[in-house]
Amino acid sequence: MKAAVVVFPGANCDEDTRWALEQVCGVPTQMVWYREPVPEDADLILLPGGFSYGDYLRAGALARFAPAMESVRQAAERGRLVLGICNGFQILVEAHLLPGVLLRNACLQFLCKDVWMKTVRTDTPFTRGLPEVVQMPIAHGMGNYFIDPDGLKALQDNGQIVFQYCDRAGRVTPEANPNGSVANIAGIINRAGNVLGMMPHPERASEDALGSHDGRLLFESAIEALARV
């Protein structure tokens, strides 16, 4: 299998993501400049964290128009796995590959710290190997996920909520919500189950030296899912 990391101007987690995939998980990974199409033989496509186009308009709002995104849309329609991390999540919602919007954190401050997440679904390609509670870091100023009540009900009814912020014991509480996201949402998936967006950074939790290897479990789950196809 092959992975591809789309590199946008202003991205700062692209090499971290490549390292986690290639050096930690052993998956050949190609860096794809935002002006180029993603190769059709890429089984796993990643939109990394960072500040695409400097977030000068709105996080992800300009990146959605990048030439590479048309090939990402086509790959998603063909059932390829797509993972958007932090700014990548913002790009996915701006591109309407996932519902909702990311707003400024409720505290109006940039947040950079470890958080705990409840794995709501363990039957997706990305989460089959994950325990009920995982630890990963966040680093964002616009991670406050919002969707209207009807949209939230649709997410719940369709089983699209994959991760929720929680405490160490797995309790989903307002106190465990770092950015004000509706329903403590930290990550959602599309109805087809192949496009995941999440604010926490799995690539920054891919080795024990980083304080957690829970992120590696997410990558390994996707790799194993692809191996079964």
CATH number for the domain spanning 170: value is 3.40.50.880
- The answer to whether the CB of 43 falls within 8 A of the CB of 226 is yes
- The answer to whether the CB of 204 falls within 8 A of the CB of 14 is no
| Residue position matching structure tokens 């829970």 | 214
| Total Cβ atoms within 10 A of residue 169 | 10
Segments forming the whole domain that contains residue 105:
3-228
Residues ≥6 apart with Cβ < 8 Å to 154 = 99, 160
Please say if 201 is a catalytic residue.
yes
Q: What is the pLDDT of residue 61?
A: 87
pLDDT, one tens digit for every residue, the chain (229 residues) = 999 999 999 989 999 999 999 999 999 999 999 999 999 999 999 999 999 888 877 788 899 999 999 999 999 999 999 999 999 999 999 999 999 999 999 999 999 999 999 999 999 999 998 999 999 999 999 999 999 999 999 999 999 999 999 999 999 999 999 999 999 999 999 999 999 999 999 999 999 999 899 999 999 999 999 998 7
Q: Which of 13, 94, 203, 220 is catalytic?
A: 203
Domain total of the chain:
1
Q: Which long-range contacts (CB under 8 A, 24 or more apart) does 93-97 make?
A: 93/60, 93/197, 94/58, 94/59, 94/60, 94/61, 94/63, 94/64, 95/60, 95/64, 95/69, 97/72, 97/73, 97/190, 97/195
Q: Which of 86, 94, 166, 220 is catalytic?
A: 86
Q: Which of 13, 166, 201, 220 is catalytic?
A: 201
Whether pTM exceeds 0.85? yes
Please give the Cα distance from 159 to 142 (Å, whole number). Answer: 24
Please say if 13 is a catalytic residue.
no
Distances in Å between the Cα of 51 and the Cα atoms of 88, 134, 179 are 9, 25, 18
With CA atoms as reference, report the closest residue to 16 among 211, 221, 205: 205
Please give the Cα distance from 53 to 68 (Å, whole number). Answer: 14
